[in-house]
Amino acid sequence: MPYPPLPNQLPARLQDIPAPQARLCLDVGRFMTEQLAGAGCISREQALSSAPLNGYTMLAACSGGADSTALLLILHYLAPRMGHTVVAVHLDHALRQESADDAHFVSQLCSAAGIRLFSVRTDVADLAAAGRCGLEEAGRKARYAFYAKTAALFSRPVICTGHHADDLKEDVLMRLIRGAGWPALGGMQAVIPERSLLRPLLVTEKYKLTTFLEACRCPWREDASNSDPSFTRNRIRNTIIPLLQQENPSFGTTITELWEAAAADRDYWTDVLPELAPDKNGQIFIARSTLQGLHKAGRLRLYKKALEALGAGQPLHASIMALEHAWHRNQGGKCIQFPGGKTARIRHGGICFCLTA
């Protein structure tokens, strides 16, 4: 679809942006450093320094949509203040006729702002067919594989995505529908250290991002597939959330508060539970003596931690509870299956977690 031309000159500096939008950038910067410090990616002292991200390269995933375009520019305007370098990463999924125009728009935007761009075109439909999975899953895997490959070119990379507070609402509802337990029910994490992933806009409402772009006189691309009701996320966004907001106009604030509580809970249990890693046989064994010394809440979180240490695949609450019931009843030999080809088997001396062959 046609899009307005980029302005001859985007605002050059944070100081050139209207005050409300400059404050938005600073709020995002504070959120970034707080979350990175909380996850142990940077020290508390570094977070309070004049250039907390000095030496870091922030890879902004930019599709050309409003969210990712705002992310790219916010990181760009924060760079002199926070010390990081910004590069853009764009993956053309080749699913829509307009996708080449999206790639061209991102290229023009990066050229106008003086931002280095890494861009690639991948036939996601072919990947979905080869992997026997849906287009959304194939696209997500392709994007993050590309981001990780590009991140490997830098010494201190942080992959930044444009997920915002409206996405958080959708994510919480999708997790509720799937049957996720606590604290996963609180929604996606702001930082995933093992993947060098950061979501700087996670508590920022989408309307603030579009207002920011309008104030900077910067256009963006619209993806018509965001209105396609065949996608679960779109049905939640366009049908369910408006109904919930009619019942509670502060629904977004409620979700953010839930997210904050879940993050605090997750951090606490990460600190107090023992570290877990598969042995040379790819198994994690938790002794009965360890389990008996924990409250039920601690055992449930230890099960989840063991399963997550085995790799991808989100354990659902019902399966976690089934494992707890089997252990409590001392059902020796009982095996519980989990997503990602994982199993937990009750043994005389404890529970053995492993991947199925």
| Model confidence at 24: pLDDT above 90 | yes
Task: Provide the token pair at 212.
Answer: 């920011």
Q: How far apart are CA 248 and CA 253, in angstroms?
A: 10
Question: In 56-164, which ranges are continuous DSSP H helix?
Answer: 66-82, 99-113, 124-131, 135-151
Cβ atoms < 10 Å from Cβ of 178: 13
Task: Provide the token pair at 178.
Answer: 């799937």
Contact, 353 vs 340, CB < 8 A? no
Q: What rounded mean pLDDT belongs to the chain?
A: 92
Residue 265 marked ligand-binding = no
Residue 162 marked ligand-binding = no
Q: How far apart are CA 161 and CA 148, in angstroms?
A: 13
Task: Tell me which residue of 312, 74, 105 sits closest to 210, measured CA to CA.
Answer: 74
Sign of CA dihedral 62, 68, 72, 75: negative
Cis, bond preceding 229 (omega within 30 deg of 0): no
Amino acid at 182: W
Beta strands in the chain (DSSP E): 57-61, 85-92, 116-121, 157-160, 191-192, 197-198, 283-287, 335-338, 342-347, 350-355
Domain, as residue range, for 303: 283-355
Does residue 274 fall inside a structural domain?
no
Q: What is the predicted pLDDT for the residue at 192?
A: 94
Residue 186 marked ligand-binding = no
Q: What is the predicted pLDDT for the residue at 357?
A: 64
Arithmetic mean of pLDDT, 33-58: 94
Among candidate residues 257, 291, 313, the one where a domain is terminated: 257
Task: Tell me which residue of 25, 30, 22 sits closest to 53, measured CA to CA.
Answer: 30
Same structural domain for residues 234 and 304? no
Contacts of 48 (CB under 8 A, 6+ apart): none
Contact, 52 vs 33, CB < 8 A? yes
Give the CA angle between residues 133, 136, 141 to the nearest 5°. 75
Q: How far apart are CA 299 and CA 303, in angstroms?
A: 6
Does residue 266 fall inside a structural domain?
no
pLDDT tens track for 225-275: 777 787 888 899 999 999 999 999 999 999 999 999 999 998 898 888 888
| Residue 313 confidence class, pLDDT cut points 50, 70, 90 | confident
pLDDT tens track for 180-223: 888 889 999 999 999 999 999 999 999 999 999 999 999 999 87
Does residue 6 fall inside a structural domain?
no
Does residue 1 fall inside a structural domain?
no
Does residue 268 fall inside a structural domain?
no
Residue 64 marked ligand-binding = yes
350, β-bridge pairs: 287, 347
Same structural domain for residues 98 and 27? yes
Same structural domain for residues 146 and 191? yes
Same structural domain for residues 141 and 196? yes
Same structural domain for residues 192 and 335? no
Task: Provide the token pair at 343.
Answer: 């199993």
Residue 134 marked ligand-binding = no
Q: What is the predicted pLDDT for the residue at 6?
A: 59
What letter does residue 158 receive in the DSSP assignment? E
Contact, 206 vs 164, CB < 8 A? yes
Contact, 174 vs 236, CB < 8 A? yes
Task: Provide the token pair at 132.
Answer: 């026997």
Does residue 275 fall inside a structural domain?
no
Same structural domain for residues 205 and 144? yes
Residue 65 marked ligand-binding = yes
